[in-house]
Amino acid sequence: MKNREKYSKEIRAAIRNNSMSEFYDKHIAPHYDIPGFYDTSWAYVAFIVSAWLDDEYTEPEIDWATVPVDTLIEVRNREKDPWTPRYFKEYKGGMVRVWGDGATSKTATFDGTWRYARLAEVDE
């Protein structure tokens, strides 16, 4: 999947809301390690955006140390298993720990460990 496919809704919203500079600074500039939208010439911005749109989308690395407790994530133990929604507890020993049975820190009575985890995409 190309970036243009992954971010099509966000790009349309950014254009509609005249907030393309925020989208660029959040998604494109860090990918290429380049200056922000207003610190770069327009020709260079157009070139970078064009290249980024045609790049293959890659899932960003997650710094689990910065994920707040009770954040909705998706987990599984094998790559072929379906993703299961759970609430994040902690990252320890290279494994993601979540609260059991879809509970949060306020209601959980146990927790579990999973091999694969990603942040859940929440519909707005």
* 61-107: pLDDT as tens digits: 888 888 999 999 999 988 899 999 999 999 887 778 999 988 999 99
Read off the DSSP letter of residue 83: P
pLDDT over 90 (residue 116): no
Per-residue model confidence as pLDDT tens digits over 22-60: 888 777 877 666 665 666 677 777 888 888 899 888 877
Q: What CA–CA distance (Å, rounded) separates 105 from 98?
A: 9
Domain locations along the chain: 3-54, 64-119
116 DSSP β-pair partners: 76
How high does pLDDT run on average in the chain? Answer: 85
> What is the token pair recorded at 91?
């990252």
At 33 the pLDDT is 64
pTM of the model: 0.57
Token pair belonging to 85: 């929604």
Q: What is the mean pLDDT of residues 111-119?
A: 88
Q: Give the number of other Cβ atoms within 10 Å of residue 73's Cβ.
A: 22
Supply the pLDDT for residue 20. 84
